[in-house]
Amino acid sequence: MLTAVKNQGKISILSIKYALMKEMLNKTTFLTNVIFMILNNASFIIQWIVLYSIQDNIGGYTFQQVLLLWGVAAGSYGVSHFFFENAYELAETITDGKLDAYIVQPKNILLSAITSKVKTSALGDLLYAYIMCVVVARSFSSILLFTFLIICGGIILTGIAVILGSLSFWFKRADMVAEAGNGWMTNFANYPDGIFKGVVKVLLYTLIPVGIVNYIPVQLLTHFRLSNLGIVVGFASVIILLAFIVFYRGLKRYSSSNLMSMRI
C-alpha cells in the first residue's frame, strides 16, 4: 500500500515535471506569462490603496488583511492551477475520450489526468502570493501556516473543479457549468467577506466555499484558532473524498470517443 502511494506520488511529480518542461520550451513566453501574472495581480492593489486612503476599514478588513486575502487567493489558485491544471479541462478530457490513455495505465486515473498539464501563469500567482505573505506576516511560522493553508485551498479548488468537470459523464456541455462554477470561486475570492450579507454569505461558506478557501485562512493568519484550522482541513478532506466518489461513479458511464487526439 505504502509503495503504491509512493509510486503514485513519483508519477504525479514526473508528470508535473514533464508538463512544466513543455511550458518552458519557449523562454520568452514562459517568463512573460509568469511576470505578467504578478503585474496583473499587483495592479489590483492600487485600487485598494485608493479605497483605503478614503477609509480605514472595508468590510471588516484592514489594508493588511486585504493584502493577505489577495495572497491566500492567489496562492490557492496558483497551487491548484500549477499542479492540477487539467482538473479545469476535465470536462473536455472526458467528452473527447482522452481518458483512455490513463485508464490503460496501472495508476490512479484521476491523479494521472489532472497532473498532466501545468499553467505557467499560476507560477506568477504563487510568487505573488508569497510576496504578499512576506510583506504582511513576516515570521517563519506564518509562512509555514500560509503554505499549509494555500495547499488546502488549492486542494479544495481542484476538488470542486473535478466534481464540476465530472458532470460531463452525465451531461453534454458540462464544461460550461464547470467554467461558471470555477469562475465563481475566483470572482468572490478577492473581496472582504464583510461586504457580503444574508444568503450570499451562507452560500460563500457552503455551495461556493470561497469563505473556507480564503476568508477563514486570512482569519487564521491574523488570529489563529484550532477550530478554524479544523474546518479548513475537514472541508478539504470531504471535498477530496467527494471528488473521487463523483469521478469514479461517472467513470462507469464513460463512453470514450473515436476522435483523433495527441498528447501535447
Partner 1 sequence: MNVIEVKNLCKTFKVKKKEKGLKGSFRSLWHPKYQKIEAVKNIEFTVEKGEMIAFIGPNGAGKSTTIKMLTGILYPDKGDISILGLDPRKARKKLAYEIGTVFGQKEQLWTHLTPYDNFKFFGAIYDIPEEAVERKIQELSTLFELEEFINTPVRNLSLGQRIRCEIVASLIHDPKILFLDEPTIGLDPVVKENIRALIKRMNKEYKTTIFLTSHDTSDIEKLCKRVVIINHGELVLDDSMENLKYHYLNKKIVEAKMKEKVNLEDEDGITILKDKGYNLKIEVDTSKKSVADALKLLNPDNIIDINISNIPLENIITEIYKKEEDK
Among 1, 2, 25, 199, binds partner 1 (CB under 8 A): 25
Of these, 28, 47, 141, 258, which contacts partner 1 (CB under 8 A)? 258
Please state, as a whole number, how many other Cβ atoms lie within 10 Å of the Cβ of residue 250.
19
Q: Which of 5, 9, 18, 170 binds partner 1 (CB under 8 A)?
A: 18
User: Contact, 165 vs 91, CB < 8 A?
Assistant: yes
User: Could you say whether residue 11 binds partner 1 (CB under 8 A)?
Assistant: yes
User: 247, exposed or middle or buried, with CB in 10 Å at 0-12, 13-18, 19+?
Assistant: buried
Dihedral angle over CA of 45, 51, 56, 60, nearest 10: -80
Question: 3-state DSSP call for residue 31?
Answer: helix
Instruction: Determine if 29 is a binding residue for partner 1 (CB under 8 A).
Output: no
From candidates 46, 50, 226, 262, binder to partner 1 by CB under 8 A: 262
Q: Which residues contact 12 (CB under 8 A, 6 or more apart)?
A: 111, 112, 115
Q: Say whether residue 263 binds partner 1 (CB under 8 A).
A: yes
Per CB under 8 A, contacts with partner 1 among 71-100 are 97-100
Beta carbons of 133 and 147 less than 8 angstroms apart: no
Query: How far is residue 26's CA from residue 176's CA, in Å, rounded to a whole number?
Result: 31
CA distances from 173 to 112, 127, 135, 162 (A): 23, 34, 43, 15
**46 contacts partner 1 (rule: CB under 8 A):** no
Question: Under rule CB under 8 A, how many of the chain's residues touch partner 1?
Answer: 32
d(CA 112, CA 84): 10
Q: In the set 5, 9, 60, 172, which binds partner 1 (CB under 8 A)? A: 172
**Closer CB to partner 1, residue 171 or residue 224?**
171
Query: Is 21 among the residues that bind partner 1 (CB under 8 A)?
Result: yes
Q: Tell me the closest approach of the beta carbon of residue 263 to partner 1, in angstroms.
A: 5
Q: Would you count residue 106 as binding partner 1 (CB under 8 A)?
A: yes
Interaction residues for partner 1, span 110-139 (CB under 8 A): none
Q: Which residues bind partner 1 (CB under 8 A)?
A: 7, 10-11, 14-15, 18, 21-22, 25, 97-101, 103-107, 172, 252-256, 258-264
